[in-house]
Structure 1
Amino acid sequence: MNSGILLVDKPQGITSHDVVARVRRLAGTRRVGHAGTLDPMATGLLLLGVGGSTRLLHYLVGLDKQYLATIRLGWGTTSDDAEGEPLERASAARIADIGDEAIAAGISRLTGPIEQVPSSVSAVKVDGRRAYDRVRAGEQVELAARRVTVSAFELLGVRRSAEAIDLDVRVDCSSGTYIRALARDLGSGLGVGGHLTALRRTRIGRFPIEDAAALDELDVAREILRPADAAARALPTVAVDEQGAIDLGHGKRIPAGDAPSKQPIAAVGPGERLVAIVERRGEELKVVAGFPNEETP
């Protein structure tokens, strides 16, 4: 069985689960998962784990992200994106009053550490059920604000018409940031409403979209990234010898040596094989997650 991480460029109009189902057929295994959902409207980078490397996804899901997006100012929607029902539209006069300086100031207010309320039509769980399931069932859902970091919110282009202003933007942000919510909050702050009309994820941590394969052209054996290589893009690493690899494989602790103090750590054995994810406990390394020797040669 191939084991590793796949970088896939998700096309528009299908769910992240649809991508997983396709890869399960191509890889010949049900052991496929993904790190970080993309809405059907969105395109771009999905990280998928195959075989034993699904255990590695836990350490990839929290990486920072980069997106290219288009925000439409002029009205909001029930889902904060183009797939929702439109809410009250701003007048042409009100839209015309919004100058470039006001847009720049609104973007600045949403840059850095911010408190963000996720969209009610989101995958956030409320009492064990996804928020979007509760909304579809007719419930009123109020989600708590969460602390996120928008490290870059760059305006790339502006297109104006009588009824709307379209903003092309690039956003670098922490995991858990909702770009739909940024669109909503920018429009709300400008007094005209706003929603997302396009979204493309271009980076997850040190995994760029340029390394991703198109879903329709995906060759799993050719594109799969070895677990050790994937782990090294997300975590500090420590090299272990053959005996250390055997001991870690049996769940034993081994001497930490010069292992970094930052947690967790990818322990890599001979042949560049990912042996385990470990944590440093004093002068020893303790196994957090083991990886059986089932990698692609």
Structure 2
Amino acid sequence: MNRLDNTASGLLIVDKPAGLTSQQVVGRCRHLLGTRKVGHAGTLDPMATGVLIVGVNRATRLLGHLAMHDKRYLATIRLGASTTTDDAEGEVVAQTDASGVEDEQVNAGIAGLTGQIDQVPSSVSAIKVNGQRAYALVRKGQDVTLAARRVTVSDFTVLATRREGPFIDLDVTVECTSGTYVRALARDLGAGLGVGGHLTALRRTRIGRYLIDDAVQLPDRDSDQPAPPLMPMARAAELSFPVVHIDAAQRQAVGYGKPLDLVLPGPLAGLVDEQGELVALYRPDERVGRARPAAVLI
């Protein structure tokens, strides 16, 4: 297998296949790239596919910032049944004939879940409760109720409707802020209509300006295909933050984690040196009128 230089840093925008956890994708990237320093931003469930941002070596320090971007999904919601996990991987716990639900009722329900809403995440999410993941507590048989969180669903549109016996399947597109659970939208839409609902398919097509059209398919573990090229960190910064170019003296200060006398064009900015390399993320510190490091990458 032709591996990249295992000291190289950058991003892979992966089209995650169904059946793998996000961490299994990370494991495959570690093997493919020959380095342990690999992480991901924005977990996708095993059944879900689509854009998964993978950071390699120094680029892992960017991941917490990249995960906060807004996201776009294509999804299929089934009305007429509720499951333990709010998706097709769980057991059906209730079934109600949805054939009498009219399109106008569905549209009204979706309208109520669009805009700024308070959403209760699924109990099998990765949110921590007293130091443990919620899904782990559920697997132990514990009842888990998570607090509602404020999220924004900027677009929730039905693309197609299929009526199949007691069920209604809705193909939808969703654009939302980070932290929104599409399967919770499916659950809440079904609950509001009185028939239950769950997610049967999910594909993430965008994280910020990282698009599915730019995502790569990972070669199989035993494939002879070469590792895909990494996106340079400077390019990643251009897609994610405003960028400020700095000189050699400023770069040296960045290396020591010092504040800089810079006016930043946003709440977070990438600093690119004279060689075109991303060296840090800085944020303004209004208390002292200077910019301070959020992440140093050299």
Alignment partners' CA distance in 2, 1:219 and 1:70: 34
Please state how far the C-alpha of 1:219 moved relative to its aligned partner: 4.5
Counterpart for residue 146 of structure 1: 149
- 1:252 maps onto 2:255 in alignment: no
SS in 1 for 2:160: strand
Q: How does 1:40-189 map to 2 (within 5 A)?
A: 40-91=46-97, 95-189=98-192
Write the deviation string for residues 15-73 of structure 1: whole angstroms up to 9, x where unpaired. Answer: 00110000001111100000011000000110011001100111101111100000000
Alignment partners' CA distance in 2, 1:116 and 1:284: 37
- 1:273 maps onto 2:269 in alignment: no
Alignment partners' CA distance in 2, 1:114 and 1:199: 21
Counterpart for residue 295 of structure 1: none
Write the deviation string for residues 203-240 of structure 1: whole angstroms up to 9, x where unpaired. Answer: 000100110001227754x4311111101211121110
TM-score, normalization by structure 1: 0.93
Alignment partners' CA distance in 1, 2:45 and 2:188: 19
Give structure 1 stretches of 5+ with no counterpart: 293-297
> Which runs of at least 4 in structure 1 moved beyond 6 Å after TM superposition?
none
Which deviates more, 245-254 or 280-289?
Answer: 280-289
Amino acid at match of 2:282: V
SS in 2 for 1:214: coil
Counterpart for residue 208 of structure 1: 211
Amino acid at match of 1:267: L
Change (3 A) 1:146 1:283: closer
Alignment partners' CA distance in 1, 2:143 and 2:261: 54
Please state how far the C-alpha of 1:286 moved relative to its aligned partner: 2.0
Give structure 2 stretches of 5+ with no counterpart: 1-6
Corresponding residue pairs, total: 286
SS in 2 for 1:276: strand
SS in 2 for 1:183: helix
Counterpart for residue 35 of structure 1: 41
Please state how far the C-alpha of 1:280 moved relative to its aligned partner: 2.3
From 264, 268, 271, the equivalent of 1:264 is 268
SS in 2 for 1:81: coil
Write the deviation string for residues 224-280 of structure 1: whole angstroms up to 9, x where unpaired. Answer: 111111012111211101221122112223321x532x2121111112101111122
Alignment partners' CA distance in 1, 2:273 and 2:60: 19
Amino acid at match of 1:271: Q
Write the deviation string for residues 72-108 of structure 1: whole angstroms up to 9, x where unpaired. Answer: 00110010000101022113xxx22211101110110
TM-score, normalization by structure 2: 0.93
Kept after mapping to 2: 8 A contact 1:111/1:150: yes
Please state how far the C-alpha of 1:283 moved relative to its aligned partner: 4.3
SS in 1 for 2:116: strand
- 1:12 maps onto 2:15 in alignment: no
Kept after mapping to 1: 8 A contact 2:9/2:233: yes
Kept after mapping to 1: 8 A contact 2:264/2:283: no
Alignment partners' CA distance in 1, 2:283 and 2:152: 26
SS in 1 for 2:26: helix
Percent identity of paired positions between Structure 1 and Structure 2: 53
Amino acid at match of 2:93: L
Alignment partners' CA distance in 1, 2:94 and 2:65: 42
SS in 1 for 2:125: coil
Change (3 A) 1:219 1:144: farther
Change (3 A) 1:37 1:219: farther
